Amino acid sequence: MKPKFEEVEYEVKEDELEESAFSKIFFVIIGAIILLLVVSFVFVNFPIADIIAGKMESKIIVNNTINLGDFSIILENGAYETLQKIYFSNPKVEMSACLLGKKEGNYYLISDLYQPRVYSESFNEILFDICSNETLIILHSHPYKRCIASETDIGTLNKTKQTNPNVLMVVMCEAKRFSVYR
């Protein structure tokens, strides 16, 4: 014979249901606000915002070519390999290079490069001689994944354009990632 269980009826008061629903909604809203604050702190503060902006602005070199849509930079005659050697020679400091070649239509054909005299260099700054007037691209590196040009970089580009209107500034922020400014 099976034991009988008594059926027990519970009376739930309306104010208890309203209080429970209010508590759930309150905690969901507070949780969402806290999550929003944490996410905004992570994505808005340095360095995450700079990295995201740099990823969106920069391009990856493919087959020695940086394709920018309306124009391209093509590194020929081992120029990209030489650039890589310079980039990796001292990864703790920024580096600079002056890229030479010719502009044909929408193509910057880089066939040679040299390093200008450097006066000081650090993890996030380099002070170097101006490149010659024959330079097509003034290139320097930035700390890893920081691809955005500084105000000083843009000022240097604008000053150089006064004597060489075809010059570009390129920021190298990874071995294969570049931001290009004209």
Q: What is the pLDDT of residues 13-33, one digit of tens each?
A: 555 556 677 788 888 899 999
Residue 181's alpha-carbon distances to 101, 115, 141, 170, in angstroms, are 17, 20, 14, 6
Residue 17 lies in a domain: no
Residue 29 lies in a domain: no
Residue 117 lies in a domain: yes
* Structural domain of 157: 50-181
Residue 45 lies in a domain: no
Main-chain dihedrals φ then ψ at residue 166, nearest 5 degrees = -85, -5
pLDDT along the chain (182 residues), means of 10: 56 59 84 83 65 87 96 97 94 92 97 94 85 95 90 93 95 95 94
pTM: 0.74
Residue 91 lies in a domain: yes
The CATH number covering residue 135 comes to 3.40.140.10
Q: Is 90 exposed, middle or buried (0-12, 13-18, 19+ CB in 10 A)?
A: exposed
- Give CA torsion, residues 57, 125, 97, 157, to 10 deg: 60
Residue 33 lies in a domain: no
Residue 165 lies in a domain: yes
Q: How many domains does the chain have?
A: 1
